[in-house]
Amino acid sequence: KYILCSIVVVICGLSAFTFAKAQSSARDMRMISYAKNLRVSRLDSALPNQRFETWLRSLVGAKAVINWEINDCGAQSGIAGDDSHINPPLCAETQAKLPDERQVIISIAVGTHKAGIKGSPDVVGAVYYNRDKTVELNKLRELPALLRK
């Protein structure tokens, strides 16, 4: 009897975990799709009215590897008493790795953990890495010139 109850508890726990993971994964995919389809001009008015994903690919080239993830925008500090864990912001972050080893990482705030996609999207961080140089971008409009060098 004890073994049967233990098995049922484990199965229920795994089912709940799988369901939560599937929900999170579906939410992440929606947020990534939202970020990819944003008009880049909405993130920086000096840039063209085209999809973010199209704009980024045009800059980094067809051979660059582009990965996406959803994260907490670096908001959770791990400090006791910090309430940032209650409803952390969520960012769609893209990392483009070019064949010559240069990298671009752009983090776009797209919502919160509880609300999902909400509010006006905003670039919360953009960094260009070269072998000997790291540049934090103030505006996305700075990226094309860095990639031409």
13-48 residue pLDDT tens: 444 444 444 446 899 999 999 999 999 999 999 999
Question: Where along the chain do its domains lie?
Answer: 2-148
How would DSSP label each residue in 47-77?
Answer: S-SSBHHHHHHHHH-TTSEEEEEEE-TT---
pLDDT for 126 beyond 60: yes
For position 83, what pLDDT does the model report? 55
For position 32, what pLDDT does the model report? 97
For position 76, what pLDDT does the model report? 59
Which of 77, 82, 67 is CA-nearest to residue 28? 67
pLDDT for 95 beyond 80: yes
Distance set, CA 117 to CA 35, 111, 113, 127 (Å):
10, 4, 9, 24
Q: pTM of this prediction?
A: 0.79
Average pLDDT on 43-72 reads 97
